[in-house]
């Protein structure tokens, strides 16, 4: 993965994506005002890739931050790479473009740089993000994701989004899209949970073979709330990672982020702490050795911090296969 001077790589549609992104998910305990402040700060320290989603319920605040930094001359719209996500209740083809248009309205932007299917799990359409029946079971919806993908392609052709991709897809689900009759645009990326304890090596190898970029979320572990998060040992407290960080006079977080960049993964980092936001961007002025990379590879245990099984059972649940 060859880096340009602006730390971008080229996707399979010819557009470029910054290899380091700022994630905008936050627990409900974080005030919405802090979402805007953190996003502004991320742009000020150098982040140009902003990763958002309708599910996060903060698109208005994130959009205000982006527009404020454009207005004060810090960046232009073209400098910013914004990712939005199609939520599970909007997989029916006729709902895809309206969902994208709602995101654009929330952000007050004319286009998205990247729009991805958030999960290969279709839920009952409606205002409830997680529709439940009387037994508190999630209500699914029967949608062919190939039809959803065709609607995504139309959004790209209409100029509402520059690139389209997927998230939380396993190999089987990626192949379903790639082998679809009449495919017009390949997914440019697959965004998945990926960190030293879950390095997704097989999925990464498959994505590279298909010229699909792997984007890592929860790259530093996860601070998500129940029911989304499993409790596992903290990645950043791992002694191997700590020793490598000490050797390079870096933090474990910087080492974890640099690890992904060197293996050809676009990586997201999220924080609401000024010191950590600044620290997370300082990963382009050092290099991990082959020995460092091998040692971090050896930490793989395959646990998932983000686990939807806690909240639902669904036939299209994306993590049934190994990758």
Report the share of the chain in percent with pLDDT over 90.
Answer: 84
Q: How confident is the model at residue 4 (pLDDT cuts 50, 70, 90)?
A: low
Helix (H, G, I), strand (E, B) or coil at 175: helix
Across 29-33, average pLDDT: 89
Handedness of CA 233, 301, 52, 123 (dihedral sign): negative
* 73-119 residue pLDDT tens: 999 999 999 999 999 999 999 999 999 999 999 999 999 999 999 99
Across 285-310, average pLDDT: 86
Return the pLDDT at 320. Answer: 36
Weakest-pLDDT range from 233-242, 259-268, 302-311: 302-311
219 neighbors 254 (Cβ within 8 angstroms): no
Q: Is residue 135 reached through a cis peptide bond, with omega within 30 degrees of 0 on the bond before it?
A: no
Q: Which of 9, 320, 32, 295 is nearest to 171 (CA)?
A: 320
Round the average pLDDT of the chain to a whole number and report it. Answer: 91
Return the pLDDT at 222. Answer: 63
Instruction: Give the C-alpha separation, 81 to 78, whole Å.
Output: 7
What is the model's pTM? 0.92
Contacts of 79 (CB under 8 A, 6+ apart): 48
The tokens for 125 are 């359409």
Question: In residues, how long is the chain?
Answer: 323
Contacts of 239 (CB under 8 A, 6+ apart): none
Return the pLDDT at 27. Answer: 86
* 112-162 residue pLDDT tens: 999 999 999 999 999 999 999 999 999 999 999 999 999 999 999 999 999
Return the pLDDT at 307. Answer: 66
Weakest-pLDDT range from 96-100, 188-192, 219-223: 219-223
Helix (H, G, I), strand (E, B) or coil at 180: coil
Q: How confident is the model at residue 317 (pLDDT cuts 50, 70, 90)?
A: very low
234 versus 107: which is more confidently predicted? 107
Return the pLDDT at 321. Answer: 43
Instruction: Give the C-alpha separation, 178 to 89, whole Å.
Output: 23
* 38-76 residue pLDDT tens: 999 999 999 999 999 999 999 999 999 999 999 999 999
Return the pLDDT at 1. Answer: 57
Q: Is the pLDDT of residue 318 over 50?
A: no
Query: Which are the catalytic amino acids?
Result: 56
Return the pLDDT at 308. Answer: 56
CA 281 vs CA 56, 79, 175, 271: distances in Å: 22, 16, 34, 11
């Amino acid at each position: 993965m060859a880096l340009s001077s602006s730390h971008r790589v080229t996707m399979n549609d010819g557009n470029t994506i910054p290899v380091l992104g700022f994630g905008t998910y936050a627990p409900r305990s974080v005030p919405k005002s802090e979402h805007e402040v953190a996003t502004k700060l991320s742009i000020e320290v150098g982040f140009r890739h902003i990763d958002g989603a309708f599910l996060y319920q903060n698109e208005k605040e994130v959009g205000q931050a982006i527009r404020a930094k454009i207005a004060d001359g810090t960046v232009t719209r073209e400098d910013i790479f914004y990712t939005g996500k199609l939520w599970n209740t909007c997989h029916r083809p006729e709902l895809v473009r309206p969902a994208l248009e709602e995101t654009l309205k929330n952000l007050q932007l004319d286009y998205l740089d990247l729009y991805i299917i958030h999960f290969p799990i279709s839920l009952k359409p409606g205002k409830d993000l997680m529709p439940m029946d009387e037994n508190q079971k999630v209500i699914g919806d029967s949608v062919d994701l190939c039809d959803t993908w065709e609607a995504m392609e139309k959004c790209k052709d209409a100029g509402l989004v520059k690139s389209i991709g997927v998230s939380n897809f396993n190999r089987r689900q990626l192949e379903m899209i790639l082998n679809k009759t009449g495919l017009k645009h390949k997914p440019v990326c697959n965004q998945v949970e990926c960190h030293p304890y879950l390095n997704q090596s097989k999925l990464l190898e498959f994505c590279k073979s298909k010229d699909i970029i792997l984007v890592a979320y929860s790259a530093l572990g996860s601070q998500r709330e129940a029911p989304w998060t499993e409790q596992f040992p903290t990645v950043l407290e791992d002694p191997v990672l700590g020793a490598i960080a000490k050797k390079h006079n870096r933090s474990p977080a910087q080492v974890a982020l640099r690890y992904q960049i060197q293996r050809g993964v676009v990586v997201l980092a999220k924080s609401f702490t000024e010191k950590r936001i600044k620290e997370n961007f300082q990963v382009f002025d050092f290099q991990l050795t082959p020995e460092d990379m091998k040692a971090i590879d050896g930490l793989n245990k395959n646990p998932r911090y983000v686990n939807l099984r806690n909240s639902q059972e669904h036939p299209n649940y994306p993590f049934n296969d190994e990758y």
